[in-house]
Amino acid sequence: MPCGKMTDAEPAVVVDPVTIVIFGGAGDLAHRKLLPALYNLHVDRLLPPRSAVLAVGRQPMTDQAYREFARDGATKFSRRPVDDGAWQDFAESLFYLAGSIGEAPVFRSLGARLDTIEHERGLPGNRIYYLAVPPTMFGPTVENLAAARLVRPPDSPPFARLIIEKPIGHDLASARAINDAIAAVFDERQIYRIDHYLGKETVQNILVLRFANSIFEPLFNQKYIDHVQITVAEEEGVGTRAGYYEQAGALRDMVQNHILQLVALVATEPPRSVAADVVRDEKLEVIQSLRPIAGAAVAAQAIRAQYGAGFEVGAPVPGYLEEKGVAPQSRTETFVALQVFVDNWRWAGVPFFLRTGKRLPKRASEISIHLKGVPPILFNANPAIPLDANVLSIRIQPNEGFALSIVSKVPGPRVHLYPVKMDFQYGSTFGKPSPEAYERLLLDVMAGDPTLFMRRDAVEASWQWVTAILDGWAAQTDGPLPSYPAGEWGPAEADRLIESSGRRWRDL
Amino acid sequence: MPTTSARHEIRASTSSAAEDDLSALWRELAAETPAARAVMSNLVVFRERPEAEEVDVCAALRDGLVVEVARAHPSRVIVLVHARGNLECRTGLPAAVGILTFGPEGARHAIEQIAVRSQGLEQSLPSIVRRLVLGDLPTSVWWLDDLSVRPPLAELATMGRQFVYDSREWRDVRGGLATVAALLEHRHAPDLADLNWRRLAPLRQGVAHGLAAAGLVAAGPGRPGPGDASAIEIRLQHAPGEEAAAWLMAGWLTSRLEPPAGPGLKVTVSPDAAAAQRMVIAVATAGTGGFTVTIDDHQVEAASPADQVPWQMAVAAERAADAVAAELWTLGHDVALAGAVRAALARLD
């Protein structure tokens, strides 16, 4: 339902009671994100009554111990304080099964435990399997689920659905292999590939902003847009994730999924409806329209770098190569800046500048759409004081919202112009914090709405585009990577990438 | 009767927690007195204090001049009180957050402030500022110290769109000019705003009048110079404390009169400890007899032998805070100031 009042023709989505099985249920993702999200859904009465969560993990633990683990996660990471009464109700729906998911016997135990829980709680047998495990375990886990007869066909209730997390592969070939392994067990309609960025309110709002307001969409094309910038900045270093990050790097970790999805939403043509596959078809079209960056273009348009020693809010922090678990000769990039073109009629010639990195000055994700300037006459006649062009900025985090930068006359007798902004903030406008992305996404899986999830073809199209860059980098083996001091906005090479076209990165 | 009194709430904080503490303070105030957040820009205020000096970081937010400027030009004010040297940089630097509300009841505005007592390597400062500035807004860096003897870290001085300073504070004019000229050459050169240059505006008008009256056409792109510039002699005498102003005027005149490849004007700058005026500029030419311009605290006067009545203009009194705020309102590259700085430095070299 797009918006407005609910009518008889648009009934509320009915979500049936469900059992959510979290493989890797004692892991970091469950602790920080999934369990707090489920708790909030419970508090908001969005989690269907009697629903259950069965966590599967390697370490031995009782149900009671798992509930304490879950409470710790909710206490630390929930967007609202934990209420004792609400928690007590929620905790009774949490269960734990210890065992290695690489071994078939665990799945026999899983089946028996699911039967017991569902029988005791009067559940209809709807199941969601959440693979919060490394991608190497995706294939074996779904095979074991199938062997244990825990997967039902897509069209016959009760339903069985699968959620998988990134990374879905490390290049096109490995992504296809993972998708093939999963497709051998689950139908595409049962698979929900999470990109949690798509669950964020401001990201969901991009299409609304564009297609529910007549002021913006007529401007979203090469006639009026000078360029687009997308920044996903992390303040933290690699921390305890060196094992994963050394194999991934910023391009795989951020660009292949989150940032390309943002590009797709900004650049997409108007879908003819909000039906899941209609929207996803249009987004796929954008990704397929990305001009490949390959060969000599890699060095010119794909900047990579590693953070060196520097400062975080005044305190010294080590460089990437000094981080625990990082190889001394590592060439893994912690920063990427790209100049990208969407080769279609609407966006012909409009550069999209993308950047992401670790140990940048602050945590900030933003899309900014820079309009072309006004002619150099009238108020813009003085070349020493060029007017700022209008910018529409969409803040994804923090301070979700969007702003429109315009030029205004300063009050007073003289004509002084100054850039000002019209600002919309979710928090202050709606008076409450937005739900966490995982809340929305988990709810969508329960409701069977795949709109905000990545389809196989989109994942593989993204990998195809990214793999060309990876191949180009693989051919550049000489010398160290460029570096940037921790606490700065990236290397000088990234500045040159955008400044060579007469533009500048936006200050965030 | 609506209240118009200002209210200033300040809380102790740390550099890492300042943003969260400021948000909490906003929530606290909003519950008591609704006020609209007024913010046009980021204003980074830098001042240095020795490590041994006890600094009340909360008091840094009450500084009258800084508060007045922020009220006149609503900004997120970030005050850095820095102790320079090879001190250990550390996390959680002492900081304070504040919100100043003002205006009549029902139409109250609020500006937000953060002060940090930083220490150690200057290279650590940009990481503090980058974390605290609001993206999407112009940033001005206001340098309260004498940059002529301790040049600012270029990375800090150029991180804003505008760099505000006062050359009247300079103890080493050549050093100050060199520092500012280097900023002009930086690839992210900020717009310079020299408060001393602002004070010279009436004097420049007087000189411009004298030049026109003497038939000396200013040089510039596509415009002819004054002809034989070597036939012009300029003498500037200045009162104590006006040396930088005198050299800026010398540079400005040079940049206006001297063709780039010309033989050069004769320019002398000298102090006059007993001067009644702030500055006297005497321009002598072979043909017209030249002119003299003087400035004191009240007026500018330009006189030439041909004048029946000298040209006069009052010097408006401007409060320090108003001067800074006026500069903050005016974003843009000051071509005349840049030319004056470069030409003055060339003469001093």
Closest CA relative to residue A320, chosen from A241, A252, A253? A241
* Distance between A321 CA and the closest CA of chain B, angstroms: 20
Lowest mean pLDDT among A7-11, A154-158, B201-205, B240-244: A7-11
Number of neighbours of residue B281 by Cβ within 10 angstroms: 25
Cross-chain Cβ contact B91/A313 below 8 Å: yes
Share of chain B above pLDDT 70, in %: 90
* pLDDT above 70 for B2: no
Q: Which residues fall within 8 angstroms of residue B111, CB to CB, at 6 or more apart?
A: B37, B38, B39, B70, B71, B74, B75, B76, B77, B99, B100
Between CA A27 and CA A25 the distance in angstroms is 6
Cross-chain Cβ contact B135/A366 below 8 Å: yes
Cα dihedral sign for A31, A36, A42, A47? Answer: negative
Closest CA relative to residue A458, chosen from A182, A81, A209, A175? A175
Between CA B72 and CA A35 the distance in angstroms is 49
In the structure, what pLDDT confidence band is assigned to residue B174 with cuts at 50, 70 and 90?
very high
pLDDT at A2 (0 to 100): 42
Share of chain A above pLDDT 90, in %: 81
* pLDDT above 90 for A209: yes
In angstroms and rounded to an integer, the radius of gyration of the C-alpha atoms of chain A is 24
Between CA A421 and CA A407 the distance in angstroms is 8
User: Which residues from chain B sit within 8 angstroms of residue A486, using beta carbons?
Assistant: 127
Residue with tokens 């090469």: A222
* Distance between A40 CA and the closest CA of chain B, angstroms: 23
Between CA B195 and CA B214 the distance in angstroms is 29
Residue B213, token pair as written in the block:
């009256």
Total residues found in chain B within this entry: 349
Lowest mean pLDDT among A182-196, B107-121, B260-274, B276-290: B260-274
Phi, psi (rounded to 5 degrees) for A332 = -75, 130
User: Which residues from chain B sit within 8 angstroms of residue A364, using beta carbons?
Assistant: 135
* Residues B203-243: tens digit of each pLDDT: 999 999 888 888 776 544 444 455 555 578 899 999 999 99
Share of chain A above pLDDT 70, in %: 97
Cross-chain Cβ contact B136/A421 below 8 Å: yes
* Residues A252-291: tens digit of each pLDDT: 999 999 999 999 999 999 999 989 999 999 999 999 999 9
Lowest mean pLDDT among A12-26, A70-84, A262-276: A12-26
Is residue A390 a contact partner of residue A371, using CB atoms and an 8 Å limit? yes
In the structure, what pLDDT confidence band is assigned to residue A389 with cuts at 50, 70 and 90?
very high
* Distance between A382 CA and the closest CA of chain B, angstroms: 9
pLDDT at A7 (0 to 100): 44
Lowest mean pLDDT among A235-244, A289-298, B2-11, B98-107: B2-11
Is residue A479 a contact partner of residue A285, using CB atoms and an 8 Å limit? no
Cα dihedral sign for A167, A172, A175, A177? Answer: negative
Residues of A with CB under 8 A from a CB of B: 235, 310-316, 361-362, 364, 366, 382, 384-385, 391, 393, 403, 405, 410, 416, 418-421, 485-489, 499, 506-508
10 Å CB burial of residue B130 (0-12, 13-18, 19+) is buried
- Diameter of chain B measured on Cα atoms: 74
Phi, psi (rounded to 5 degrees) for A83 = -95, 130
Is residue B178 a contact partner of residue B145, using CB atoms and an 8 Å limit? no
pLDDT at B220 (0 to 100): 47
pLDDT at B263 (0 to 100): 58
pLDDT at B52 (0 to 100): 80
* pLDDT above 90 for A438: yes
Residue with tokens 């920063």: A335
Lowest mean pLDDT among A10-19, A51-60, A71-80: A10-19
Active site residue A119: no
User: Which residues from chain A sit within 8 angstroms of residue B160, using beta carbons?
Assistant: none
For chains A and B, CB pairs below 8 A equal: 85
Cross-chain Cβ contact B131/A405 below 8 Å: no
* pLDDT above 70 for A10: no
Cross-chain Cβ contact A506/B138 below 8 Å: no
Q: What string of H, E and C letters represents the secondary structure of A433-474? A: CCCCHHHHHHHHHHHCCCCCCECHHHHHHHHHHHHHHHHHHH
Average pLDDT, chain A: 92
DSSP annotation string for A244-270: HHHHHHHIIIIIIIIIHHHHHHHHPPP
C-alpha distance from residue A448 to each of A14, A444, A457, B100 (Å): 10, 6, 19, 50
Cα dihedral sign for B82, B83, B89, B95? Answer: negative
Cross-chain Cβ contact A384/B332 below 8 Å: yes
Partners of B191 in beta bridges: B162
Is residue B46 a contact partner of residue B150, using CB atoms and an 8 Å limit? no
* pLDDT above 70 for A297: yes
Strands A127-131 and A160-164: parallel
* pLDDT above 70 for A471: yes
Between CA A41 and CA B326 the distance in angstroms is 52
* Residues B319-342: tens digit of each pLDDT: 999 999 999 998 889 999 999 999
Is residue A437 a contact partner of residue A196, using CB atoms and an 8 Å limit? yes
CA dihedral of A70, A73, A76, A78, whole degrees rounded to 10: -90
In angstroms, the first-to-last Cα distance of chain A is 34
Number of neighbours of residue B97 by Cβ within 10 angstroms: 28
**Preceding amide of A158 cis, omega within 30:** yes
DSSP state of A290: B
Identify the closest residue of chain A to B41 by CA–CA distance.
A420
User: Which residues from chain B sit within 8 angstroms of residue A487, using beta carbons?
Assistant: 126-127, 130
CA dihedral of B204, B209, B213, B218, whole degrees rounded to 10: 50
User: Cβ of B308 under 8 Å from any chain A Cβ?
Assistant: no
pLDDT at A361 (0 to 100): 94
pLDDT at A137 (0 to 100): 92
* Residues B6-40: tens digit of each pLDDT: 889 999 999 989 999 999 999 888 888 888 889 99
Q: Identify which has the larger pLDDT, B215 or B70.
A: B70
Closest CA relative to residue A15, chosen from A442, A333, A394? A442
